[in-house]
Structure formats: structure tokens, C-alpha cells
Amino acid sequence: MYQSFVPTLRTLMGPGPSDVNPRILTAMARPTIGHLDPEFIRMMDEIKGMLQYAFQTKNELTLPVSAPGSAGMETCFVNLMEPGDKVIVCQNGVFGGRMSENVRRLGGEAVIVEQTWGRAIDPEQLEAALRQHPDAKIVAFVHAETSTGVQSDAQTLCALAKAHDCLSIVDCVTSLGGTEVALDAWGADAAYSGTQKCLSCAPGLSPISLSQRAVETIKSRKTPVSSWFLDLNLVMGYWGEGQTRSYHHTAPVNALYGLHEALVVLHEEGLASSWSRHARNHNALKAGLEAMGLTFVVPEAERLPQLNLVSVPEGVDEASVRKQLLQQYNLEIGAGLGSLAGRVWRIGLMGFASNPKNVLFCVNALEAVLSQYNAPIHRGVATGAVQAAYKA
């Protein structure tokens, strides 16, 4: 006989999903109502308003796509691009690579601005590419590269795009709620995020926001959007303001209860407080790990507080350490990707999971497992360093 699935309680400190706030799980368990029910429509309007707050934008076209972050990415490309368009993609990790894959599959030409993994996008390199390709239509980049723990300067990159008459597409999946996202101040044209990173919600939705300039681009397309499901002209019939809502697809009702609660939580804490909490916990984690002798890979000014790239000590098999952390302590951390595979761990401190209890737990669990492997670390000093960092 099949039985109910009851997962073990883990602590999620990898690249996402992050620990879901119990308030959000409770919200998701509330009774399902119709997706055209007036009560539900009221909740949708609140979600829009709170997403505008989170993205720091007045963009009318701000809504959650009914699918994970990758669908938000695809929504931006499929609506703004037409076959033959030239798109400059800044690539410094896994997710930039997916952007260029979107461009190619939509029949566009991807011009890649390549950066070493573990470093921020270089604005001068982007500017050179913009000069060399005056016919480019869009600039796309990842604000917070989860594959490497790097944050790029979105304000500068968006301004360069605008100065060269390009639209900008910004991946804010890991930044939203964790570090500052300010679409209007940046002048960004399209941004997408995800629910399972710093919003601490269950995976499966992708908040997006598009500027007036982006909306005009969509309205003046010469070819229809090649995806029926992601066509914003149609999605707007359901999410649009003031119009009679019409059926496009059945909204994931309970998932949206979860997003609503996650945004209420973010609103209660306040954006600035959330960012400074992420920074504080990052500093404490860093103090503990550095006291043990572990090192951070990304240059300090380019580090993401919500995703920490930590080097694996000499002679240690990183995969078995992660396996032991999961088996002995129910603690999940992430592996390195691409050229960083085997050499780094990715430790997430995202949203609800970014707290002093997790920092101390992670540092101590890692010390215990590394000690079992006789790794060359300093023992017995990490806890003190964490505590000192919180007092400072």
C-alpha cells in the first residue's frame, strides 16, 4: 500500500529552496476558493501591490507567473524578443547561460559578454559590446548569480542599456527580499524573481515586473508571442487592472495564498530591515567560517549575503561532507557548479533561514563533520567568532 508522504524536517541552507516560514505553509493549507471569486480577486490585487513594494516599482504590469523562476525568465524573453533580434547577454554563471539559451531558441542572436565565474559583470565590457553592436535590442543580466554568490551592479548595467537605447532584462530571483532591488531607480525594463529564495515561500511562482517601455514593445510586436501560456497580452486579461477578469488558466490558488503571506511577512519586516538582517547574518557566518580557516571565494565588494561561496579545505571530498551534514544533522548546503564544482560549497542564508540560530548551527555542524574527516581546520573557535560578530 502507498502511504502519505511525510518528509523529514531539514534545515535548508543551500541555493534554494530555502526554509519556508511556517506562517506561509499555514496560509497555503487554507480552503481553496474559485480563482474568479471576488475575495480571491481582492487578494490578487494585494499581491500586485505588495510585489510593487518588493520590486520598488510603480510598474502596472507586475504579477506572479504561475510557474517557477525559469518561467519568469522565459516570459521576459518570449514577450520582448522577436526572431532575428540581437540580445547582449552578460554571463558570469549558470543562469546567464540559460538566458542565452532562451535567446537562441527564440531565433535571436545572442552576443555574450563573458565574465569569470565568481566575479561581477564588468560594466566596461558591456559598454564595449554595446558600442560594437549598435543594433542590439536588449541587454540581459543576472543581478544575483546563485551559482557563484555574486552580485552585479544592476543600476550601472541598466543605465548603460538605456543609454544605448536597449531594453534591460534583470534576473532578480535570488536578490528579491535579500538585497536591494529597485526597478524604478535602476530604470530596469523587465525583471523576474522566484518565491523559494529570499521570499521563503514554497517554490512554483515567478513574480515579474515590466516597465511602460517594455509594455509598448510588446504591444507593437510584428509577430505573435510564440508561447500561448506565457503571452502577457493574454495573461493580462486575468491579472489586469480595472478590466473584467477572464479565464486564461486556473490560477494556482493555494500557492498564491502562500505568496500573499510571504509578502505580508516582508512588508511587516520592511525591505531595509530585511536587507540588513541578511547582511548581519552573513557577517556572522563569515566570522565563524573564517575563524575555522575556511575562505570566501568572491571578492568582498561583490559578495551576496544570502549565498556564500566557501572554499573546500585541501584534501576534503566536498560531496561526502554534504552527505554527512544531511544524514547526521538534516542540514542541506549546496555544491559548486561548473568550473567551481568540487572546490566550493554554496551556503544559503535566505529569507526566513537567514537567522542567528542557523548560522551557529551550520558553523558547528560543518566543524563537527570536518573534524571527523581530519580536515585542516582550527577547532573550537568558530562559535566565539560568531558570537563576537553579532555583538560588534
Ligand X SMILES: *Cc1c(COP(=O)(O)O)cnc(C)c1O
Neighbouring C-beta atoms of residue 98, cutoff 10 Å: 18
Measured from each CB, the residue nearest to ligand X is 69
- Closest contact distance (angstroms) between CB of 96 and ligand X is 9
Interatomic CA distance for residues 317 and 274, integer angstroms: 35
Using the rule CB under 6 A, is 66 a contact of ligand X? no
Q: Which of 13, 20, 50, 69 binds ligand X (CB under 6 A)?
A: 69
Q: Which of 40, 55, 77, 95 binds ligand X (CB under 6 A)?
A: 95
Asked if 229 contacts 248 with a C-beta cutoff of 8 angstroms, the reply is no
Collapsed DSSP state (helix, strand, coil) of residue 290: helix
Task: Name which of 251, 266, 285, 274 is nearest 356 in CA terms.
Answer: 285
Using CB under 6 A, which of the segments 36-44, 66-74, 80-88, 346-354 binds ligand X?
66-74
x-or-dash pattern for ligand X, window 13-32, by CB under 6 A?
---x----------------
Specify the residue, 215 or 304, whose C-beta has the smaller distance to ligand X.
304
Using the rule CB under 6 A, is 194 a contact of ligand X? yes
Asked if 168 contacts 189 with a C-beta cutoff of 8 angstroms, the reply is yes
Asked if 271 contacts 351 with a C-beta cutoff of 8 angstroms, the reply is no
Using the rule CB under 6 A, is 70 a contact of ligand X? yes
| Helix, strand, coil distribution of the chain in percent, nearest 5 | 45, 15, 40
Using CB under 6 A, which of the segments 56-64, 166-174, 222-230, 369-377 binds ligand X?
166-174
- Closest contact distance (angstroms) between CB of 132 and ligand X is 26
Using the rule CB under 6 A, is 171 a contact of ligand X? yes
Specify the residue, 33 or 112, whose C-beta has the smaller distance to ligand X.
112
DSSP state of 13: E
x-or-dash pattern for ligand X, window 304-343, by CB under 6 A?
----------------------------------------
Cα torsion 301, 304, 308, 314 to 10°: value is -30
Asked if 253 contacts 343 with a C-beta cutoff of 8 angstroms, the reply is no
Using the rule CB under 6 A, is 146 a contact of ligand X? yes
Using CB under 6 A, which of the segments 169-177, 218-226, 239-247, 367-375 binds ligand X?
169-177
The string of DSSP codes covering 167-226 is EEEEE-TTTTTTS---HHHHT-SEEE--SSSTT---SS-EEEEE-HHHHHHHHT-SS--S
Indicate the angle between helix axes 271-292 and 253-269, nearest 10 degrees.
80
Cα 40 vs. chain centroid, distance in angstroms? 26
Specify the residue, 206 or 324, whose C-beta has the smaller distance to ligand X.
206
Indicate the angle between helix axes 356-372 and 382-391, nearest 10 degrees.
160
Q: Which of 203, 237, 293, 356 binds ligand X (CB under 6 A)?
A: 203
**Count of chain residues binding ligand X (CB under 6 A):** 12
Specify the residue, 210 or 363, whose C-beta has the smaller distance to ligand X.
210
| Long-range contact pairs involving 184-190 (C-beta distance under 8 Å, separation at least 24) | 184/56, 184/57, 184/58, 184/59, 185/56, 185/155, 186/154, 186/155, 186/158, 186/159, 187/158, 187/159, 187/162, 187/211, 188/154, 188/158, 189/80, 189/158, 189/161, 189/213, 189/214, 190/76, 190/80, 190/214
- Closest contact distance (angstroms) between CB of 4 and ligand X is 26
Using the rule CB under 6 A, is 174 a contact of ligand X? yes
Site residues for ligand X, 244-273, by CB under 6 A, read none
Specify the residue, 95 or 117, whose C-beta has the smaller distance to ligand X.
95
Q: Which of 14, 64, 68, 149 binds ligand X (CB under 6 A)?
A: 68
Using CB under 6 A, which of the segments 63-71, 150-158, 258-266, 330-338 binds ligand X?
63-71
- Closest contact distance (angstroms) between CB of 343 and ligand X is 20
Specify the residue, 126 or 140, whose C-beta has the smaller distance to ligand X.
140
Q: Which of 51, 120, 173, 385 binds ligand X (CB under 6 A)?
A: 173
Using the rule CB under 6 A, is 142 a contact of ligand X? yes
Asked if 348 contacts 15 with a C-beta cutoff of 8 angstroms, the reply is yes
Specify the residue, 79 or 324, whose C-beta has the smaller distance to ligand X.
79
- Which residue do the cell numbers 537562441 mark? 104
Give residues in contact with ligand X (CB under 6 A): 16, 68-70, 95, 142, 146, 171, 173-174, 194, 203
